Structure 1
Amino acid sequence: MDLQLSGRVALVTGASKGIGLAVAATLLDEGAKVVAVSRSSSPELDKLAGAGLVHLPADLTAAEAPAQVVNQAVEIFGGLDILVNNAGGPPPGVVLPRQSFLDATDEEWRAMFEFNLFSAARAIRAAIPHLRKRGGGAIINVSSVNARQPSPINVDYGAAKAGMSNLTKELSSEFGPEGIRVNTVSPGPVRTPWWTDEGGVADMIAAQAGTDRDSVLNTVVPEMMNLTTGRLVEAQEVADAVALLASPRSAATTGADLAVDAGFLKEI
């Protein structure tokens, strides 16, 4: 199916690895011109760089950074059609998972909201005038199942993502009449470096459970989280959902939340 993304300009944050890298690669494969934003690049992202993809280094927790990268994207490719707010997770200096709400300080809460919510709000504020000039466009905010299913081990992260989902609903109503569609994708546990890197979450759980990393990823976590599919989500599966929502083929979809969660969420 042609997603009709050829020639469209997309900005993807958190694009050096995991979901963001998969999104950038997928949009590029679909013919879009991509501005990939992250604190630093990666060998995988460097391989994608060329006429159709440019990397911009930025710390999106800096208040001025989101607007700067939006404006740079417009300067590089002449406009903006798609904004993917994917950057998120634990900001520098914050370690997840925790054991309790009581483990997070005020400063850690501020850092979590700066990275996971405020940076996206600032990018959206900067992007909307450019989307208006194009006659509309698509904003996809990467939220989380924790926005709908609270967890004591990620309480500040979940609260920030709940704010992201709420913001998305408001934006979709306010700007939908102008052809600007705003949706969320809410991943469940995704097989990304946050889980798989040495010293990552899989290793932490393995140490607690007295097992190994592969067993945690393939058996322990799917059983612990009661994943219907029996496995973690792949980053490409999230990227495919993002690409579909970015496409004009989703012209009637706005204000929606698409869970790509291996069946984690089971409520109606």
Structure 2
Amino acid sequence: MDLQLSGRVAVVTGASKGIGLAVAGTLLAEGMRVVAASRGRSAGLDALAGGSLVHVPVDLMDPEAPGRVVARAVEEFGGVDVLVNNAGGPPPGVKLPRFSFMAPTDDDWREMFEFNLFSAVRAIRAAIPQMLRRGGGAIVNISSGSARQPAPMNVDYGAAKAGMNNLTKALSEEFGPQGVRVNTVSPGPVLTAWWTEEGGAADIIAGQAGTDRESVLKSVAPEMMGLTTGRLVDPQEIADVVALLASPRSGSTTGAEFVVDGGFLKAV
């Protein structure tokens, strides 16, 4: 299926690994020009290098950083058609999960919201005028099943992502009539560095459960989180949905949430 994305310009945050890297690669494969924002490069991002990819090294905890990324897209490619707010998860230097509401401090809450919500707010604020100048565009916000499945674990993260869901709906109402579609993709647990890196979620849960990292990834985590598929989500499965939502072929889809979570959410 031709997604009609060839020649369009996308900004993807958190693009050096995991979901963001898969999104950047997928949009490039569809013929888009991609501005990839991340704190550093990676082997995966280097493998995508070419004339259609520009990497902008930024720390999105810096309030000025999202605007600089959008400005770079305008400078390099003339505008912005698609914004994918993917950066999120543990803020730099933070390890998750935390297992109680009492665990995060005020500073932890502020950092979580800066990284998972406010960075997206700032990127959207910078991108929308550029989209309107080009007659419209598409924003895809990467949220989480945790936004709609409250739990004592990672309470601050779930609250930030719930804000992302609300933001998406509000933006779709205001800017949909002007041609800017805004949608959310809510992953469940995804097989990314958040889980797999040393000291990451798999190791933390393994320490709590008295088992090892591989067992957590293969069976403990899927069982603990009630995943119907019995496995963590692959980043490419998220990227495929993002590409469809970015496409003009989704022209009547706005203010929607697409859940790609292995069956994590059970509610109707």
TM-score by length of 2: 0.98
> What SS class does the counterpart of residue 230 from structure 1 fall into?
coil
Q: Determine whether 1:35 maps to 2:31.
A: no
TM-score (norm 1): 0.98
Q: Secondary structure at the match of 2:47?
A: helix
Q: CA deviation at 1:212?
A: 2.2
**Do the aligned partners of 1:96 and 1:153 also contact (CA within 8 Å) in 2?**
no
| 1:26 paired residue number | 26
Q: Are the counterparts in 2 of residues 11 and 82 from structure 1 also a CA contact under 8 Å?
A: yes
Q: CA deviation at 1:249?
A: 0.6
Match of 2:115 in 1: 115
State the shift of 1:124 in Å.
0.3
Query: What secondary structure does 1:181 align onto?
Result: strand
User: What fraction of aligned residue pairs are identical, expressed as a percent?
Assistant: 73
Query: What is the one-letter code of the residue matched to 1:252?
Result: S
Alignment partner, residue 130 of structure 2: 130
SS in 1 for 2:237: helix
CA deviation vs aligned residue, 1:117-142 (integer Å, no higher than 9, x gap): 01100110100110001110000000
> Which residue is equivalent to 1:65?
65
Query: Which aligned segments of 4 or more residues in structure 1 are displaced greater than 3 angstroms?
Result: none
Aligned partners of 1:67 and 1:126 also within 8 Å: yes
CA distance in 1, matches of 2:258, 2:50: 31
TM-aligned CA deviation for residue 198 of structure 1: 2.0
Supply the distance in 1 between the matched residues of 2:197 and 2:13 (Cα, whole angstroms): 21
Q: Is the 8 A contact 1:171 1:182 kept in 2?
A: yes
Alpha-carbon distance, 1:240 to partner = 0.5
2:63 partner letter = A
Structure 1 match to 2:50: 50
Letter in 1 for 2:38: S
The number of residue pairs the alignment matches comes to 268
CA RMSD of aligned residues (A): 0.9
Cα distance in 2, alignment partners of residues 149 and 116 from structure 1: 17
Runs of at least 5 residues in structure 1 that lack an aligned partner in the other structure: none
The equivalences for 1:64-83 within 5 A come to: 64-83=64-83
Question: Is the aligned partner of 1:209 residue 2:234?
Answer: no
Shift in Å, 1:150: 1.1
| CA–CA distance in structure 2, aligned partners of residues 94 and 109 of structure 1 | 12
Q: CA deviation at 1:99?
A: 1.6
Q: What CA distance in whole angstroms lies between the structure 1 residues aligned with 2:207 and 2:117?
A: 32
